[in-house]
Amino acid sequence: MNFTSMAAEQVMQDLIDCLLAEHFFGPEPLPLLAAGQWRQAHPEAPALEGGEAYERIWDWCCDAQEQRFISIALRPGITQQWEKVPGSPVLARQEQRWSALGPVDFMKRVFTGMGPRFGDNDKGLTLFLEVLHISVWQTALSLEHRVDDQNLMAQDGATFLRTMEQWASLRDRPYHPLAKAKQGLLQAEYQQYQAEFAQPVALNWVAVRKDLLQGGEGVTDLAQVYPARYLLPEALQERLAAELRERGIDASHVALPVHPWQFEHVLPAQLGAAFARGDCQRLDFSEATVFATSSLRSMTPCFPSADYLKLPMAIYSLGASRYLPAVKMINGGLSEALLHQVRRLDPVLEQTLHLCDESKWWAFMPPEATLFDEAPRHLSAMVRGYPQALLDDPDCRLLPMAALGTPLPGSNRHFFDEWMAYRQLPVTADSVLTLFGELCQRFFDVNLRMFRLGMLGEVHGQNAVLVWKAGQAQGLLLRDHDSLRIFVPWLTRNGMADPQYRIKKGHANTLYHQRPEDLLFWLQTLAIQVNVRAIIDTLAQVYALPATRLWGSLREVLEGLLQSIEFDAEARAMIQHQLFEAPRWPQKLLLTPMIERAGGPGSMPFGKGEVVNPFQRLQA
């Protein structure tokens, strides 16, 4: 099995689909030929079309002067007008010379053909090609590694969660052609630090002067609330404390964990002066070994515990550096308080919405720094406390939803196998549809109840964790609270207040929204177009089920919830229109904003565009 070819095909599929969905080639309809017409014009061409009547060939002149063409087989999509026929090649021709293109060669021709559009942004184009190349070879490494998917239900809660994180990591963000690219990691580092390889990571530690630390709401007293207390068993706590005593800094400094990659590659450059002054000191202690989760810089505990760890790691992923600034954690604390309020306002959410505790964090913050400075955000740590009762309950499993939307390479394994076996259901399309319907019922019940009260979490598959209990989709566990989206008028009418998020003046924010339709954007994009769509496509592939049946099931669930949840008439009509009646849906633009930013600072670059309404495509 050629994993590089498999990776290139997977990346190419996402790349072309993403470009088409974003109208990268212009707003006009593509000039398409019926497959028979195209074959008649090019009888000597290699195999391209699949023989289905609905297929079309896009024959694009990417270089008029040199008479270079690219031919791509397309089919009608559900979430976009046209998508690449899976498994089909992308052919280049000049005169009668034909060749199959890989993703990088394809994009080089695209950039040549669209030269005027990008003007003098050579840096953005070069960076894009570089990250695309990284995405292919890193995807190949992940495809070649086999995640251990055996005896899932025999694992305890924490081990099961770790296995599912490894499974989810295989794909990262679905439908993003650059998702697997972790820019800054060498091959050995990628295989050491990515979750799917299940390699232990030995944490480094840095001692930081106590008076230069900022802390979260849960850090009430540094003498009592410090990272080692939550992240190390008592024996290792004592060894770390002994080193602080030997250095004579046990009263003045607190030890913060640091990712070894960050320790080696980033801290000397970003905080060299602080180390030279003794404000920060590298420690020799490195005995705690943890495992990466699907987000790479969030780590499991090194001993049985519900306290996990989130760290800065300044690699570039999805066009953004993965630092951990205090301002994000401050905003996360404000959001966490809102989430606790919303649970108290809705008796159903009180039972089905579960929250990680993200109130304990520590961030280096020298007196001359601001919340928005670059350097301090590279030295910080958060303890993420999972609900202990959920991890300890033998009938309960925590399942990052991304694992449900990630096929295992060369395998037809899926968690629905275990779910059907537990429920003693036959392995049939109807059983899959039943469980999918129950999953959607719980997921969207939680999200729409939150929306009714004026907020939505960032519920892509990495942050949204399904709480599975005794064969039922019991609830939803949220983590990464710094991305809670809100509509203040609905908060205030339900007795909550504007949390007063810290946002840099002059910078766009994605937390506040001017209209409820703008807040609904996140349900349509991250929840449906990314998270649930990936689950639909994976179930369709694994269980040989038409995707249209799963989309139909999703529609039934949403329509039912729209009636059963206590929306006012105006809100219900708005959601009905936006989800089912509007001809177009919003979408997150991914590739164009990344090219335009050309690797600058900030979180994941994105813009807003439009695509087809998937529920209207079902009726077409």
331 pLDDT more than 80: yes
Alpha helices (runs of H) in 22-93, residue ranges in sequence order: 35-41
User: Residue 49 — pLDDT band, cuts 50, 70, 90?
Assistant: confident
Closest residue by Cα to residue 91 from 130, 133, 128, 60? 60
β partners of residue 33: 57
User: Residue 320 pLDDT > 80, yes or no?
Assistant: no
Taking only the tens place, the pLDDT of each residue in 74-107 is 999 999 999 999 999 999 999 889 999 999 999 9
All structural domains of the chain, each given as residue ranges with its CATH number in brackets, are 3-120 (3.30.310), 156-162+191-343+355-384 (no CATH), 388-619 (1.10.510.40)
Two structure tokens written together for 108: 């080089």
- The pLDDT tens digits for 533-588 are 999 999 999 999 999 999 999 999 999 999 999 999 999 999 999 999 999 999 99
What are the phi and psi torsion angles at 607 (to 5°)? -130, -175
Contact in structure between 167 and 413 (CB atoms under 8 Å): no
Of the candidates 89, 95, 15, the residue with the CA atom closest to the CA atom of residue 49: 89
What type of residue is 338? L
Predicted confidence at residue 606, as pLDDT, reads 74
Q: What is the pLDDT of residue 604?
A: 67
- Is residue 111 helix, strand or coil? helix
Provide the CB-side half-sphere exposure for 209 (13 A, CA): 11
* Residue 599 pLDDT greater than 70, yes or no: no
Chain mean position to CA 264: 26
State the Cα–Cα distance between residues 461 and 11, nearest whole angstrom.
19
What is the per-residue pLDDT for 603?
A: 63
Average pLDDT over residues 497-505: 93
DSSP codes joined into one string, 379-425:
SEEEEEE--HHHHH-TTEEEEEHHHHT-PPTT----HHHHHHHHHT-
Amino acid at site 163? T
CA-nearest of 296, 282, 336 to 182 is 296
> Regarding beta strands 396-400 and 380-385, do their DSSP bridges make them parallel or antiparallel, or are they unpaired?
unpaired
Q: Are 511 and 501 in contact (CB under 8 A)?
A: yes
**pTM, whole model, 2 decimals?**
0.96
Q: DSSP 3-state assignment of 107?
A: helix
Cα 280 to Cα 266: distance, rounded to the nearest angstrom: 14
Region of poorest pLDDT, from 249-253, 325-329, 416-420, 603-607: 603-607
CA-to-CA distance for 201 and 292, rounded, in angstroms? 8
For residue 365, is pLDDT > 90? yes
pLDDT tens digit sequence for 203-235: 999 999 999 999 999 999 999 999 999 999 999
Residue 33 main-chain phi, psi, to 5 deg:
-115, 145
- Residue 425 pLDDT greater than 70, yes or no: yes
Band (148; pLDDT cuts 50, 70, 90): confident
For 442, other C-beta atoms within 10 Å of its C-beta total: 20
User: Three-state SS for 55?
Assistant: coil
**Mean pLDDT over residues 472-482, rounded?**
97
Closest CA to 499 of 491, 509, 508, 490: 491
User: What residues does 292 pair with on adjacent strands?
Assistant: 299
8-state DSSP, 457: -
**How big is the chain by its Cα radius of gyration, in Å?**
25
- Tell me the per-residue pLDDT of 386-398, one tens digit each, with 9 for 90 and over: 999 999 999 999 9
d(CA 324, CA 337): 20
In contact, 251 and 222? CB cutoff 8 Å: no
Is 481 in contact with 329 (CB distance < 8 Å)? no
Helix pair angle (429-452, 547-564), 10° resolution: 40
User: Is the pLDDT assigned to residue 158 strictly greater than 80?
Assistant: yes
Query: What does the chain come to in residues?
Result: 620
pLDDT in the model for residue 341? 98
Q: Is 348 helix (H, G, I), strand (E, B) or coil?
A: helix
Using CA atoms, how far apart are residues 218 and 360, in angstroms rounded to an integer?
A: 5
Which tokens go with 31?
């000039």
The DSSP secondary-structure symbol of 579 reads: I
Which pairing describes strands 353-355 and 472-478: parallel, antiparallel, or unpaired? parallel
Instruction: Report CA-CA distances (Å) from 91 to 68, 79, 98, 157, 590.
Output: 11, 25, 7, 48, 25
Instruction: Return mean pLDDT, the chain.
Output: 94
Question: Exposed, middle or buried, 576 (CB in 10 Å: 0-12/13-18/19+)?
Answer: middle
228's tokens = 């080692």
